[in-house]
Amino acid sequence: MAALVVAEHDNRALKPATLNALAAAKEIAGQEVDVLVAGKDCHAVAEAASAVAGVRKVLLADDAAYGHGLAENVAPLLVKIASGYSHLLAPATTSGKNLMPRVAALLDVMQISDISAVVSPDTFVRPIYAGNALQTVQSKDPIKVITVRGTAFPPGEATGGSAPIETVEATGSTGLSEFVRAELSKSERPELTSARVIISGGRGMQSGDNFHLLEKVADKLGAAVGASRAAVDAGFVPNDYQVGQTGKIVAPELYIAVGISGAIQHLAGMKDSKVIVAINKDEEAPIFQIADYGLVGDLFKILPELEAELERRQ
Amino acid sequence: MKALVAVKRVIDYNVKIRVKADKTGVETANVKMSMNPFDEIAVEEALRLREAGTVSEIIVVSLGVAQCQETIRTALAMGADRGVLVETNAELQPLAVAKLLKAVILQENPEIVIIGKQAIDDDCNQTGQMLSALLGWPQATFASKLKISDGHAEVTREVDGGLETIAIKLPAVITTDLRLNEPRYASLPNIMRAKKKPIVTTTPDALGVDVTPRLVVLKVEEPPKRQGGHKVGSVAELVDKLKTEARVI
């Protein structure tokens, strides 16, 4: 039994979500966990992966066809090397979700999506219905293709290893798709999926401009800023802020929900947070039912007060 | 060109689901069922392409029990032209759905297939990717913008870091994200008109597809409940609790 983890990266740095997927892979396959780095001019990523504790070896496929992670090009590569593995895993990020079902179909196996626990090498737990139920499934397929819910598997050490890097031959481009451009949000703040503290705004924020009230509190806490679907749909903030069933799944130490009523689709993305704070003027808002600390009131008064109080007690 | 849209019948997104006492699944008896919201977005996108003159005909496919016909009728009422029901009482998992859709597509020859990025019941997020793999077509998942010209589609996708735009050759499979469009409501005259639109029924056997599940569901349970509901009276008290009781700041 051996597992292969598809590294999440941008050709320069290994993304933290890879470490969560590696943690799941180790629960399945112990010492026999390899990492695939497919990209363009991505040797630095392979080196970072080789330094991760507990990696057996790193497979490096460096080719222009993989530069933007197009599923049409990367899937055949995975299919080619799949025969050496019992398990193929990737983080349940947008790139993992895009790639892995394509690989599974080419191998004629079902994917096991978004696992939150490993019961045994063929049995896994996964959330369904926006996390309102947990399903335990056993795979009958010879190769298990899996995406991993990062928040369910604490990341291992990023250093301490020195796995050999092996080059694998590229499978080339299928010519089916090509990358045109990316508009990625730039932020000095931590990434949502790996932040220790998150403060999110909802429809109650009333405008995108008002998000600066959240940002000021975020700066005091070293927090990432998120949003509910309602706030993204209303155009207050870009889509990559969205926390929820179909957005990002987060589980920080502290999650502060501001002006968010608490639709089940939003709760699905954050209810595994260690401590939840809710600030809302409607004391009947469902968010209060799951909040460890609820504060009823006008967020436009509370946020500046909160900023000042954090400043005072720092 | 023809567009094919697949729609899934799921428990309505407003329903608070209940796990069955015997842990075999989720209670579906006497529960409101609706079209998967992402599939509504897919139907709407196909309608807009037809209104723009890009698409000539919209075929709606649903797979599952006989009542999936209602889901197809909903899409026909929104404006789709005709329906195909792949009827079975068997449990269908995404790989089987992809194989069934492939079989229908080989009969219908659409140049564009639009489906929701995930169903809100099993939250799998697989079918579109699997379908395009089986067809050897390109895939554009999590689409928030779609532009078609000259045998190509330019698709903007919602990704973790922001937005990404790719160009794909047609035929292709597109999966929809939330911001692609806002689906229309069916008007009463259109609901009446939809009753006369044709729906063809077929079966997995007739399509020659083995739908045996690859994943065996051992049990379905409720997640652990969160103990919440405590209120604090002021910002000072909140910060105090976070520092001394929860110790998270």
Interface test with A, best of B165, B175, B235 (most A CBs within 10 A): B235
Q: Check B137 against A176: CB less than 8 A apart.
A: yes
In 3D, which of A201, A220, A174 has the Cα closest to residue A287? A201
pLDDT in tens, B88-141: 999 999 999 999 999 999 999 999 999 999 999 999 999 999 999 999 999 999
Residue A106 half-sphere exposure toward CB, CA atoms < 13 A: 23
Could you say which of B93, B118, B241 has the minimum Cβ distance to residue A293?
B241
Q: Check A127 against B127: CB less than 8 A apart.
A: no
Mean pLDDT confidence for B137-151: 97
pLDDT in tens, A4-40: 999 999 999 999 999 999 999 999 999 999 999 999 9
pLDDT in tens, A128-164: 999 999 999 999 999 999 999 999 999 989 999 999 9
Q: Check B158 against A239: CB less than 8 A apart.
A: yes
Q: Check A110 against B158: CB less than 8 A apart.
A: no
pTM comes to 0.96
Collect all residues of chain B within an 8 Å Cβ-Cβ radius of residue A253. Answer: 248
Collect all residues of chain B within an 8 Å Cβ-Cβ radius of residue A199. Answer: none
Mean pLDDT confidence for A274-290: 97
CA angle B14, B19, B22 (to 5 degrees): 160
CA angle A71, B125, A116 (to 5 degrees): 105
Percent of chain B with pLDDT over 70: 100
Q: Where are the alpha helices (DSSP H) in A82-225?
A: 94-106, 211-221
Query: What is residue A314's predicted lDDT score, i.e. its pLDDT?
Result: 82
Rounded to a whole number of angstroms, the distance from the CA of B199 to the nearest CA of chain A is 29
Nearest CA in chain A to B167: A178
Rounded to a whole number of angstroms, the distance from the CA of B195 to the nearest CA of chain A is 31
Q: Check A105 against B133: CB less than 8 A apart.
A: yes
C-alpha distances (whole Å) from A263 to each of A154, A161, A202, B228 are 27, 43, 11, 16
In 3D, which of B246, B126, B236 has the Cα closest to residue A305? B236
In 3D, which of A224, A230, A232 has the Cα closest to residue A250? A224
Could you say which of A94, A254, A293 has the minimum Cβ distance to residue B159?
A94
pLDDT in tens, B33-83: 999 999 999 999 999 999 999 999 999 999 999 999 999 999 999 999 999
Q: Check A180 against B165: CB less than 8 A apart.
A: yes
Interface test with A, best of B105, B126, B132 (most A CBs within 10 A): B126
pLDDT in tens, A39-75: 999 999 999 999 999 999 999 999 999 999 999 999 9
Query: Using alpha carbons only, how large is chain A's radius of gyration in Å?
Result: 21
Collect all residues of chain A within an 8 Å Cβ-Cβ radius of residue B17. Answer: 129, 132-133
Q: Check B234 against A295: CB less than 8 A apart.
A: yes
Q: Check B26 against A139: CB less than 8 A apart.
A: no
DSSP-derived 3-state class of residue A149: coil
Q: Check A180 against B222: CB less than 8 A apart.
A: no
Interface test with B, best of A293, A295, A312 (most B CBs within 10 A): A293
Could you say which of A175, A183, A253 has the minimum Cβ distance to residue B248?
A253
Nearest CA in chain B to A242: B160
Query: What is residue A185's predicted lDDT score, i.e. its pLDDT?
Result: 87
Q: Is the pLDDT at A267 greater than 90, yes or no?
A: yes
Report which residue type is found at A178.
E
Tokens 């679907």 — which residue?
A229
Gap between the Cα atoms of A160 and B64, Å rounded: 51
Collect all residues of chain A within an 8 Å Cβ-Cβ radius of residue B223. Answer: 127, 131-134
Q: Check B220 against A134: CB less than 8 A apart.
A: yes
Collect all residues of chain B within an 8 Å Cβ-Cβ radius of residue A193. Answer: 160
Q: Check A106 against B164: CB less than 8 A apart.
A: no
Collect all residues of chain B within an 8 Å Cβ-Cβ radius of residue A139. Answer: 214-215
Collect all residues of chain A within an 8 Å Cβ-Cβ radius of residue B230. Answer: 291-294
Query: What is residue B65's predicted lDDT score, i.e. its pLDDT?
Result: 98
In 3D, which of B19, B162, B123, B66 has the Cα closest to residue A113? B123
Q: Which residues pair with A132 in a beta bridge?
A: none
Query: What is residue A26's predicted lDDT score, i.e. its pLDDT?
Result: 98
Cβ burial, residue B213 (10 Å; 0-12/13-18/19+): middle
ipTM for the assembly: 0.96
Query: What is residue A235's predicted lDDT score, i.e. its pLDDT?
Result: 97
- A277 neighbors B238 (Cβ within 8 angstroms): yes
Collect all residues of chain B within an 8 Å Cβ-Cβ radius of residue A131. Answer: 223
Query: What is residue A67's predicted lDDT score, i.e. its pLDDT?
Result: 98
Can you read off the two tokens belonging to residue B208? 């020659």
Report which residue type is found at A105.
A
Rounded to a whole number of angstroms, the distance from the CA of B84 to the nearest CA of chain A is 23
pLDDT band at residue B226, thresholds of 50, 70 and 90?
confident
Count of pairs with CB atoms under 8 A, one residue in A, one in B: 259
Rounded to a whole number of angstroms, the distance from the CA of A160 to the nearest CA of chain B is 28
Q: Check A254 against B249: CB less than 8 A apart.
A: yes
Q: Check B221 against A133: CB less than 8 A apart.
A: yes
Q: Is the pLDDT at B227 greater than 90, yes or no?
A: no
pLDDT band at residue B229, thresholds of 50, 70 and 90?
confident
Q: Check A113 against B126: CB less than 8 A apart.
A: yes
Percent of chain A with pLDDT over 70: 100
Query: What is residue B179's predicted lDDT score, i.e. its pLDDT?
Result: 95
Can you read off the two tokens belonging to residue B148? 């078609």
Nearest CA in chain B to A173: B138
Collect all residues of chain A within an 8 Å Cβ-Cβ radius of residue B170. Answer: none
What is the bridge-based pairing of β-strands B33-35 and B82-87? unpaired
Collect all residues of chain A within an 8 Å Cβ-Cβ radius of residue B151. Answer: none
